[in-house]
Copies of this chain bind each other. A is one copy, B any other.
Amino acid sequence: MNDFVLPFDQWLAQVVASVESTLDVYLPTEDEEPAFLHEVMRYAVLGPGKRVRAALVYASGLACQSSLDTEHFKALSLAASAVELIHAYSLVHDDLPCMDNDELRRGRPTCHIKYGEAMALLAADALQPLAFKQLSQMPVAPALVIQAIDILSSAAGSHGMVGGQVIDVCHVGQQLSLTQLQQMHRMKTGAMIEGSVLLGAISSGANSEVRQALEDYAAAIGLAFQVVDDILDATVDSQSLGKTAGKDEQSQKPTYVSLMGLESSKTFVNQLHQTALAALLPLGPQAQRLRELADFIIRRHY
């Protein structure tokens, strides 16, 4: 994990294996009651996924303290699984008929298509407290655990992810200004991206200067992540995307592409990429995985 010579895709594969093994251990199993609920929770979380947020936690941890001991690695794994649990719950609720009404997610039937709406609703509801339990078990100083919980609750709450989703839902079919769109994306996707990077830093005892650099990095790639999503939705077919493509235009959602056009959106992504890399300069070579993740997020084509 802390071998900087390893090619990025192999490092990312290690990250995916590591967070999925942590999730597998901490998610309740189908041997425990209520077995059906646990099956749905595991379906929602353990399916194929890029695990970008988890990778950001580990990469941020490495940027702060490159020699990972066992405790530090465990703390990062718990933080990484916590952000993946929040992300997974949000996707399940996002896909529900009263929200995006999506039938396909990561190439598989969405949770409510497979298990029904009530089970999808409840399984996702049970993922949230599990995320906070994960953080409560991090082997770091109790004061840092409490900071981590504060950060995750802000990122997942009404001033973060859920707030962004509400602005999104409330503006379907309406024109948004670029500032409003940016605010929506900063909250909807950016808050959890920033939260992931900060959790990695907190689990590693980063000082406030390092945290600030990481926040600047995260703000830029968080935004870039959503702009790239909008570009992909407008340009890639459903099969390659692993979810229903063209949904944004079909449902008249405001996007960067609808507002700025495709070319300007691509230019904007490149600017954000440069901003992210510049923010990492003070961190030196230890920030390698964060730089590679910025490239990965921005250059993904599926």
User: Is B149's CB under 8 angstroms from A121's CB?
Assistant: no
User: Is A130's CB under 8 angstroms from B149's CB?
Assistant: no
Q: Chain B: which residue is nearest A41 at the CB level?
A: B158
Binary interface profile of A, 242-278, with partner B (CB < 8 Å = 1, else 0)?
0000000000000000000000000000000000000
Residues A1-54 near B (CB distance < 8 A): 28, 32-34, 36-38, 41
Q: Which among B32, B96, B169 is the interface contact of A159 at CB below 8 angstroms?
A: B32
Residues A88-142 near B (CB distance < 8 A): 89-90, 93, 96, 98-99, 116-119, 121-123, 125-126, 128-130, 132-133, 135-137, 141-142
* B residues less than 8 Å from A93 (CB atoms): 121-122, 125
Q: Does A145 contact B (CB under 8 A)?
A: yes
| Interface residue total, chain A, C-beta cutoff 8 A | 53
Q: Does A68 contact B (CB under 8 A)?
A: no
Complex Cα–Cα for A146 and B129 (A): 13
* B residues less than 8 Å from A122 (CB atoms): 93, 162, 165-166, 169
User: Is B145's CB under 8 angstroms from A157's CB?
Assistant: no
Given contact pairs A117-B98, A122-B166, A128-B128, A159 touches B36 in the complex (Cβ within 8 A):
no
Q: Which among B118, B145, B152, B153 is the interface contact of A98 at CB below 8 angstroms?
A: B118
CB distance from A54 to the nearest CB of B (A): 19
CB distance from A115 to the nearest CB of B (A): 11
CB distance from A7 to the nearest CB of B (A): 37
* B residues less than 8 Å from A165 (CB atoms): 122
Complex Cα–Cα for A132 and B93 (A): 20
* B residues less than 8 Å from A96 (CB atoms): 121
Q: Does A150 contact B (CB under 8 A)?
A: yes
Complex Cα–Cα for A104 and B93 (A): 23
Q: Chain B: which residue is nearest A130 at the CB level?
A: B157
Q: Which among B36, B121, B123, B163 is the interface contact of A126 at CB below 8 angstroms?
A: B163
* B residues less than 8 Å from A159 (CB atoms): 28, 32
Q: Which among B38, B152, B183 is the interface contact of A129 at CB below 8 angstroms?
A: B152
Binding site for B on A (CB under 8 A): 28, 32-34, 36-38, 41, 89-90, 93, 96, 98-99, 116-119, 121-123, 125-126, 128-130, 132-133, 135-137, 141-143, 145-146, 149-150, 152-154, 156-159, 162-163, 165-167, 169-170, 183
